């Protein structure tokens, strides 16, 4: 292996682990960098069965890649953590991490101790994150037109999806969007042949159990059974005995009595986590109750929140009617869409819950349309929670100047670690410009000069014309939290990789235990 600086083999051995890990990180960053910006292209992912996914969503590419190198897996895990927390910005975090590690390795090869590089990086990352927050603009109201621009940019310029997402955010309200336990992206469902739609309610991705059951209900009383709606089972051996058979008959009678309780409660919609027994199906059908079985836990959770219902187990049905009343939820309407094969529950008496239904022309684009909508929804919610900053790489360049200012106050070799952060912050703009077909060296310098001369942190490159323009005027904006988390995530993975001095293959504990003799 050749040294990255052309030095001796002794240096090569010392830096071997660092260089190997850095190369793995660079390979991952290279896989997503071509997707960045408005002119970014798609990536085709193909599995061994020939199934194809075409996307430019960074997190999807990272999740679906066939990766074996441990350092690469570390980067992917950090990107996934960013996606789980904020819902967007994984491509930016990955590209910045790759740049930060490359710069750090370069400094180490030059002779800067790793500890000093990490020390300086920490200072630079902290300064950068604080600078982004300081430059942030807040969302005053959900009627602010900037929200539509945020959804449009993060939704890859799909105007229909941006409108749907912002419409849903306004329906739900700011208080709900500020709740960290609520994720607007989880209200999104894409279906082939559906029309774009936003409504207050929940979609259950299942059909009613029987076509003889009603398909349109008004004044809905809902019972949620987080269990199977079936008699309790008795083992075959026990059933073969007289006592066991007697117990079986008692359970059958009790089961019918419990189903009758559901009917007596006035319930007209019964949602069940698992299967529904034939006897229960017949009784519910005769009572004109719509029943849906094998409902996902996610859908049941949404129904509980939206209607005020309380999920119960089948054994809970042994309670008397007065106690069971507390488990019943309420909604204005429930109806089955036979064409799309789902049931809608609308106007629940519990928490407000909007559903964003995204239409797709073909089955092949359903997944990508849903991913795009989830990105847009995550960005809108992040902007409501934490404000927004100019996009297009503008804010990172502005923040890089702040980091360079901090560098001037530092003494010793840790200043070189700060330089790494400053260089990495310019990488997003450089990649956006490159993907748009312009010279990144020229354009990045043009932006730096323009920001300094005009005193604006909003200037970057118009990817259509190549001119330096105000991103706020163009409507190119990003959520503040996305940028802050991306910077911190890049810093965390860079520090973790730079700290690795040696790579040792672990012993296979299972094989080792198999070899040990028995005494």
DSSP, residue by residue, 136-201: -B----TT-THHHHHHHHHTTT-HHHHHHHHHHHHHH-HHHHH-TT--GGGGEEEEETPPPEEEEE
Q: What is the pLDDT of residues 382-432, one digit of tens each?
A: 999 999 999 999 999 999 999 999 988 888 999 999 999 999 999 999 999
Percent of the chain whose predicted confidence (pLDDT) is above 90: 57
More confident residue, 215 or 32: 215
Rounded to an integer, what distance in angstroms lies between the CA atom of residue 402 and that of residue 123?
A: 12
Rounded to an integer, what distance in angstroms lies between the CA atom of residue 99 and that of residue 433?
A: 16
What would the two tokens of residue 86 be?
Answer: 């904020």
Q: What is the pLDDT of residues 225-251, one digit of tens each?
A: 999 999 887 776 766 677 777 887 888
Rounded to an integer, what distance in angstroms lies between the CA atom of residue 228 and that of residue 251?
A: 15
pLDDT grade for 368, boundaries at 50, 70 and 90: confident
Q: Supply the pLDDT for residue 502.
A: 60
Q: Supply the pLDDT for residue 92.
A: 86
Rounded to an integer, what distance in angstroms lies between the CA atom of residue 150 and that of residue 187?
A: 18
Q: Is the pLDDT of residue 138 over 80?
A: yes
Beta carbons of 87 and 187 less than 8 angstroms apart: no
What would the two tokens of residue 514 be?
Answer: 């198999």
Paired residues of 337 in beta bridges: 342
Distances from the Cα of 485 to the Cα of 186, 219, 292, 378, 507, angstroms: 20, 45, 41, 13, 36
As to burial, measured by CB atoms within 10 angstroms (0-12 exposed, 13-18 middle, 19+ buried), residue 400 is buried
Q: Is the pLDDT of residue 297 over 80?
A: yes
Q: Which domains does the chain have, with CATH numbers?
A: 9-137+412-433+480-499 (1.10.560.10), 197-360 (3.50.7.10)
More confident residue, 481 or 15: 481
- Which distant-in-sequence residues (6+ apart) come within 8 Å of 351 by Cβ? 176, 305, 306
Positive/negative CA dihedral, 344, 347, 349, 351: positive
Q: Supply the pLDDT for residue 12.
A: 60
pLDDT grade for 512, boundaries at 50, 70 and 90: low
Q: Supply the pLDDT for residue 352.
A: 81
Q: What is the pLDDT of residues 299-342, one digit of tens each?
A: 999 999 999 999 999 999 999 999 999 999 999 999 999 989 99
Beta carbons of 268 and 220 less than 8 angstroms apart: yes
- Among the residue ranges 73-77, 136-140, 174-178, the one predicted with the least confidence is 73-77
Q: Supply the pLDDT for residue 2.
A: 40
Torsion of CA 223, 228, 229, 233, to 10 degrees: -150
pLDDT grade for 373, boundaries at 50, 70 and 90: very high
Give the DSSP letter of residue 352. -
- What is the pLDDT averaged over residues 275-291? 95
As to burial, measured by CB atoms within 10 angstroms (0-12 exposed, 13-18 middle, 19+ buried), residue 217 is buried
Q: Is the pLDDT of residue 61 over 90?
A: no
What would the two tokens of residue 298 be?
Answer: 């996610």
- Among the residue ranges 361-375, 463-477, 490-504, the one predicted with the least confidence is 490-504
Give the DSSP letter of residue 330. E
3-state class of 33 per DSSP?
A: helix
pLDDT averaged over every residue in the chain: 87
pLDDT grade for 516, boundaries at 50, 70 and 90: low
Distances from the Cα of 173 to the Cα of 96, 141, 178, angstroms: 34, 10, 9
Give the DSSP letter of residue 463. T
What is the Cα 359 distance to its own chain's centre? 20
Indicate left, alpha or beta for 87 from its phi (over 0: left) and psi (-120 to 50: alpha).
left
Q: Is the pLDDT of residue 57 over 90?
A: no
- What is the pLDDT averaged over residues 216-233? 93
Q: Which of 277, 319, 272, 318 is nearest to 292 (CA)?
A: 272
What is the Cα 448 distance to its own chain's centre? 33
Q: Supply the pLDDT for residue 218.
A: 95
Rounded to an integer, what distance in angstroms lies between the CA atom of residue 184 and that of residue 138?
A: 19
pLDDT grade for 503, boundaries at 50, 70 and 90: low
Q: What is the pLDDT of residues 102-125, one digit of tens each?
A: 999 999 988 899 999 999 999 999
Beta carbons of 497 and 22 less than 8 angstroms apart: yes
DSSP string of 280-328, one letter each residue:
HHHHHHHTT-EEE-S--HHHHHHHHHHH----B-GGGGGS-HHHHGGG-
Q: Supply the pLDDT for residue 45.
A: 73
Q: Which of 302, 251, 305, 258 is nearest to 280 (CA)?
A: 258
More confident residue, 44 or 435: 435
Q: Which of 410, 396, 386, 390 is nearest to 131 (CA)?
A: 396
Report how many helices (DSSP H) and strands (DSSP E) the chain contains, helices first.
21, 14
Q: Is the pLDDT of residue 43 over 50?
A: yes
Q: For helices 70-85 and 480-499, give the axis angle rounded to 10 degrees.
A: 160
Question: Strand pairing of 188-192 and 354-360?
Answer: parallel
Distances from the Cα of 388 to the Cα of 106, 245, 372, 425, 473, angstroms: 33, 68, 19, 18, 14
Long-range CB pairs of 136-145 (<8 Å, 24+ gap) are 136/386, 136/387, 136/388, 136/389, 136/480, 137/387, 137/388, 137/389, 138/387, 139/383, 139/384, 139/387, 139/388, 142/166, 142/169, 142/170, 142/173, 142/174, 142/177, 142/384, 143/170
More confident residue, 260 or 6: 260
Q: Is the pLDDT of residue 6 over 50?
A: no
């Amino acid at each position: 292996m050749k040294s990255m600086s052309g030095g001796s083999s002794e240096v090569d051995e010392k830096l071997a682990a660092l260089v190997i890990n850095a190369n793995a990180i660079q390979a991952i960053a290279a896989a997503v960098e071509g997707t960045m910006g408005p002119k970014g292209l798609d990536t085709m992912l193909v599995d061994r069965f020939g199934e194809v996914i075409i996307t430019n969503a960074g997190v999807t590419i990272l999740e679906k890649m066939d990766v074996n190198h441990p350092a690469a897996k570390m980067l992917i895990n950090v990107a996934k953590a960013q996606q789980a927390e904020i819902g967007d910005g994984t491509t930016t975090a990955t590209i910045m991490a790759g740049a930060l590690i490359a710069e750090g390795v370069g400094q180490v090869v030059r002779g800067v101790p790793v500890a000093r590089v990490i020390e300086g990086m920490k200072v630079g990352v902290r300064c950068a994150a604080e600078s982004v927050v300081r430059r942030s603009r807040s969302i005053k109201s959900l009627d602010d037109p900037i929200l539509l621009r945020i959804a449009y940019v993060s939704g890859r310029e799909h105007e229909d999806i941006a409108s749907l997402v912002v419409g849903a955010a306004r329906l739900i309200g700011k208080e709900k969007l500020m709740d960290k336990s609520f994720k607007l992206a989880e209200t999104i469902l894409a279906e082939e042949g559906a029309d774009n739609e936003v409504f207050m309610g929940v979609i259950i991705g299942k059909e009613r159990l029987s076509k003889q059951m009603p398909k349109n209900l008004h004044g809905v009383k809902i019972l949620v059974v987080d269990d199977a709606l079936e008699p309790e089972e008795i083992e075959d051996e026990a059933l073969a005995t007289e006592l066991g058979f007697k117990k079986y008959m008692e359970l059958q009678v009790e089961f019918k009595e419990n189903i009758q309780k559901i009917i007596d409660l006035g319930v007209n919609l019964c949602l069940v986590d698992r299967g529904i027994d034939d006897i229960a199906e017949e009784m519910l059908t005769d009572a004109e109750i719509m029943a849906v079985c094998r409902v996902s836990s996610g859908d049941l959770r949404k129904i509980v929140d939206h209607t005020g219902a309380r999920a119960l187990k089948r054994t809970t049905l042994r309670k008397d009617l007065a106690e069971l009343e507390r488990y019943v939820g309420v909604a204005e309407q429930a109806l089955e869409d036979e064409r799309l094969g789902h049931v809608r529950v609308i106007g629940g008496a519990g928490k407000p819950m909007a559903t964003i239904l995204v239409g797709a022309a073909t089955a092949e684009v359903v997944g990508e349309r849903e991913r795009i909508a989830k990105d847009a929804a995550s960005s809108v919610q992040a902007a409501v929670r934490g404000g927004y900053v100019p996009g297009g790489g503008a804010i990172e360049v502005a923040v890089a100047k702040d980091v360079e200012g901090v560098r001037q106050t530092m003494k010793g070799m840790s200043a070189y670690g700060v330089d790494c952060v400053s260089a990495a912050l310019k990488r997003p703009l450089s990649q956006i410009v490159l993907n748009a077909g312009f010279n990144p060296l020229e354009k990045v310098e043009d932006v730096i000069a323009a920001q300094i001369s005009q005193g604006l942190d909003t200037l970057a490159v118009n990817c259509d014309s190549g001119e330096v323009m105000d991103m706020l005027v163009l409507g190119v904006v990003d959520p503040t939290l996305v940028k802050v988390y991306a910077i911190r995530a890049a810093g965390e993975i860079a520090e973790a990789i730079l700290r690795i001095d040696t790579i040792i293959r672990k012993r296979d504990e299972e094989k080792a235990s198999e070899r040990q003799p028995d005494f």
